[in-house]
């Protein structure tokens, strides 16, 4: 800690000194000088201004669901869990506002009561909305963008210690804020474009790989949400706790999910039947993978999606037969954010995982090398091997993002070693 911090009184905000932090997956940890739990926007501002004066870096943490070193800092770690809650809804404009630490799971009921729903979400709903926005977190559906694509307004504290707002008329700054890895500042409140509330009907099936391929284009185009997990071994489905047909092999088969909007009478039409639920959208989305795993997730142009999946299958069969986690495959619509991995192209998502406590690095490095031939981008919150040079080549908006970041935080208050190497 710089010696000058000893002459500056720390703000009267709940905090701990040198408390170790670890993420949900258990593969990242840090011991900040201060772990701070602000209760109000004013307390967040006090702490950021203290950090600027003391020469300490600042990072924010939500639910800790990222597998990359986005949170690590030896300076100040801001836990924004108390900066939470829905702050407004507009059913005419289809907008919802929330404080930065609000969990995705906490949007469902308040939005529904206002006649609204999140347009899409992923398998896990425990992330804080600020973290989901900052990393480009997404669900599946070729006509649906990520959380970040829904950002329409943000209020944040920049590296000058000022509270600033970014709105729809600030297009350059908004494209930077949509996926910013926490490097523009500390988000306090956000506004999202949302949808009229809707129900979903679930259909879980278990096609063979040849059946998956035969219906590839139809399934992508004809379902609101379509995704699958291809299983290479008998134990593969169990690693994600996926229910499968009793007595049937899952080898070279897909656990396939289709969700489509339906009109339901809640007094008679709801169903909790496994694999065929019918309910409010946020209840169908809820749940997801609960056993910790360590995930790499890369994105390829949609037109090369099947080719990339089959190349990954061949890599597993020929070189990494010991890797048993399924390949999860999803789709995301093109969007505009400068650092969005979906910038300018409809995308096929490929996710693979390694078992905690095992040496999965040779496998993940081979996946990275193979997918470079597909111009693959990466999920910012999941294991990746991107360098500054690769990011600059893959993301057309990279230089524009860096310019905005430098305007907002010229002294790098919100950078850590990981983000500095990519975005300083």
Would you place residue 378 in the very low, low, confident or very high pLDDT band (cuts 50, 70, 90)? very high
Shared domain check, 90 and 45: no
The answer to whether residue 174 is domain-embedded is yes
Please say whether the beta carbons of 257 and 264 come within 8 A.
Answer: no
Calpha distance 339→179 (Å, rounded): 6
Q: Find where tokens 């078992």 sit.
A: 355
pLDDT surpasses 90 at 290 = no
pLDDT surpasses 50 at 205 = yes
Q: Quick one: which of 256, 258, 212, 226 has its CA closest to 142?
A: 226
Shared domain check, 349 and 228: yes
Question: Range of 376's domain?
Answer: 199-380
12's tokens: 């009267």
Q: Which of 61, 79, 97 delimits the end of a domain?
A: 79
Calpha distance 296→313 (Å, rounded): 15
The per-residue pLDDT for 288 is 66
**Residue 126 or residue 312, greater confidence:** 312
Shared domain check, 376 and 346: yes
Please say whether the beta carbons of 324 and 233 come within 8 A.
Answer: yes
Calpha distance 359→252 (Å, rounded): 24
Would you place residue 1 in the very low, low, confident or very high pLDDT band (cuts 50, 70, 90)? very low
Q: Which of 46, 79, 112 delimits the end of a domain?
A: 79
Give the domain CATH number at 310: 3.40.462.10
Give the domain CATH number at 57: 3.30.43.10
Beta bridge partners of 278: 201, 271
Q: Which of 58, 79, 100 delimits the end of a domain?
A: 79
Give the domain CATH number at 141: 3.30.465.10
The answer to whether residue 388 is domain-embedded is no
The domain total for the chain is 3
The per-residue pLDDT for 5 is 44
The per-residue pLDDT for 359 is 96
Beta bridge partners of 98: 86, 190
The full DSSP string for 140-183 is -BTT---TGGGEEEEEEE-TTS-EEEE-TT-HHHHHHHTS-TT-
Which residues, other chains included, contact 162 with Cβ-Cβ below 8 Å and sequence gap of 6+?
none
Q: How many CA atoms lie within 13 A of 172 on its CB side?
A: 9
Least confident residue range of 23-32, 334-343, 388-397:
23-32
Shared domain check, 304 and 416: no
Shared domain check, 362 and 226: yes
Shared domain check, 206 and 90: no
Q: Quick one: which of 204, 184, 157 has its CA closest to 41?
A: 157
Shared domain check, 211 and 351: yes
300-304 average pLDDT score: 98
Q: What percent of the chain lies above the pLDDT cut of 90?
A: 94
Would you place residue 289 in the very low, low, confident or very high pLDDT band (cuts 50, 70, 90)? low
The per-residue pLDDT for 141 is 97
Shared domain check, 46 and 109: no
pLDDT surpasses 90 at 411 = yes
The answer to whether residue 386 is domain-embedded is no
The per-residue pLDDT for 287 is 64
Shared domain check, 372 and 227: yes
Beta strands 116-117 and 95-99: pairing type? unpaired
Which residues, other chains included, contact 73 with Cβ-Cβ below 8 Å and sequence gap of 6+?
30, 32, 57, 58, 59, 416
pLDDT digits (tens, 9 = 90+) for 97-150: 999 999 999 999 999 999 999 999 998 889 999 999 999 999 999 999 999 999
Considering the chain, what is the average pLDDT of its residues? 96
Calpha distance 152→133 (Å, rounded): 11
The per-residue pLDDT for 4 is 46
Q: What percent of the chain lies above the pLDDT cut of 70?
A: 98
Calpha distance 59→73 (Å, rounded): 7
pTM value is 0.94
180-193 average pLDDT score: 98
Please say whether the beta carbons of 70 and 20 come within 8 A.
Answer: no
The per-residue pLDDT for 272 is 96
Shared domain check, 177 and 51: no
Shared domain check, 258 and 188: no
The answer to whether residue 287 is domain-embedded is yes
Calpha distance 9→129 (Å, rounded): 31
Shared domain check, 214 and 75: no
Calpha distance 267→31 (Å, rounded): 51
Q: Provide the H-helix boundaries in 244-304.
A: 281-285
105 φ/ψ angles, rounded to the nearest 5 degrees? -65, -20
393's tokens: 């080549």
């Amino acid at each position: 800690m710089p010696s000058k911090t000893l002459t500056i009184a720390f703000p009267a905000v709940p905090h701990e000194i040198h408390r170790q932090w670890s993420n949900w997956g258990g593969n990242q940890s840090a011991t900040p000088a201060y772990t701070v739990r602000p209760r109000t926007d004013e307390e967040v501002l006090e702490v950021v201004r203290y950090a600027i004066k003391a020469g300490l870096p600042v990072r924010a943490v939500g639910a800790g669901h990222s597998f990359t070193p986005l949170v690590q800092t030896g300076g100040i770690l801001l836990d924004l869990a108390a900066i939470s809650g829905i702050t407004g809804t507009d059913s005419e404009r289809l907008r919802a506002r929330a404080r930065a630490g609000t969990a995705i799971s906490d949007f469902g009921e308040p939005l529904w009561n206002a006649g609204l729903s999140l347009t899409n979400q992923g398998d896990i709903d425990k992330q804080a909305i600020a973290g989901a926005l900052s990393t480009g977190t997404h669900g599946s559906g070729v006509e649906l963008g990520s959380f970040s694509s829904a950002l329409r307004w943000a209020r944040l504290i920049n590296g000058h210690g000022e509270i600033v707002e970014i709105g729809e008329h600030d297009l350059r700054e908004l494209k930077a804020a949509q996926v910013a890895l926490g490097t523009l500042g500390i988000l306090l409140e956000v506004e999202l474009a949302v949808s009229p509330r809707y129900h979903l009907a679930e259909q879980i099936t278990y096609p063979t790989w040849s059946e998956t391929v035969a219906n590839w284009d139809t399934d992508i185009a004809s379902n609101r949400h379509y995704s699958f997990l291809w299983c290479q071994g008998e134990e593969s489905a169990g690693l994600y706790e996926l229910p499968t047909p009793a007595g049937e092999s899952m080898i070279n088969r897909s656990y396939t999910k289709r969700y489509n909007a339906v009109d339901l009478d809640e007094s008679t039409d709801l169903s909790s039947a496994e694999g065929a639920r019918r309910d409010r959208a946020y209840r169908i989305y809820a749940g997801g993978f609960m056993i910790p795993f360590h995930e790499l997730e890369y994105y390829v142009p949609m037109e090369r999606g099947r080719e990339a999946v089959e190349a990954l299958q061949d890599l597993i069969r020929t070189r990494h037969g010991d890797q048993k986690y399924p390949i999860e495959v999803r789709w995301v619509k093109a969007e505009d954010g400068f650092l969005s991995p979906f910038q300018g192209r409809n995308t096929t998502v490929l996710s693979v995982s390694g078992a905690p406590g095992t040496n999965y690095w040779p496998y993940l490095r081979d996946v990275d090398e193979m997918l470079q031939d597909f111009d693959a981008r990466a999920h910012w919150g999941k294991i990746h091997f991107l360098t500054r040079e690769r990011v600059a080549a893959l993301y057309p908006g990279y230089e524009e993002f860096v310019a905005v970041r430098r305007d907002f935080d010229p002294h790098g208050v919100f950078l850590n070693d990981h983000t500095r190497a990519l975005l300083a």
